[in-house]
């Protein structure tokens, strides 16, 4: 039972509250009665945080910018 998800105008990056539209194409070899189809999307998010002191850091005085990264799995139950 091959299944294909076709997204309408998929962006390269999604953000929270983005609306995702498209079609789910299900190919059957024989006639079947289907009562429902559930589509679950999963993904990963990457966030980079920079402290305010980083904006005024002076590399010549030995101050280095600080950036913190977070990774999250989205849509898992």
pLDDT tens, position by position, 3-38:
899 999 887 877 777 888 999 999 999 998 989 888
Range 41-55 average pLDDT: 74
Does 43 score more than 60 pLDDT? yes
Residue whose C-alpha is closest to residue 31's, from 1, 56, 52, 10: 1
pLDDT band at 60 (very low <50, low <70, confident <90, very high): low
Domain count, the chain: 1
Domain hosting residue 30, numbered range: 3-74
CA 44, 77, 16, 9 dihedral sign is positive
Backbone phi and psi for residue 28, each to the nearest 5 degrees, phi listed first: -115, 145
State both tokens at 11.
């962006």
Quote the pLDDT of residue 52. Answer: 64
Quote the pLDDT of residue 30. Answer: 92
Cα angle for residues 8, 9, 13 (degrees, 5° grid): 120
pTM listed for this prediction: 0.49
Question: Which residue spans within the chain are E strands per DSSP?
Answer: 3-7, 22-26, 43-50, 67-74
């Amino acid at each position: 039972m091959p299944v294909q998800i076709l997204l309408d105008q998929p962006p390269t990056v999604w953000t929270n509250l983005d609306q995702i539209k498209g079609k789910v194409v299900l190919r059957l070899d024989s006639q079947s009665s289907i009562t429902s189809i559930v589509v679950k999307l999963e993904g990963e998010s990457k966030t980079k945080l920079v402290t305010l002191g980083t904006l005024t850091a002076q590399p010549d005085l030995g101050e280095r910018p600080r950036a913190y990264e977070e990774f999250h799995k989205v849509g898992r139950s």
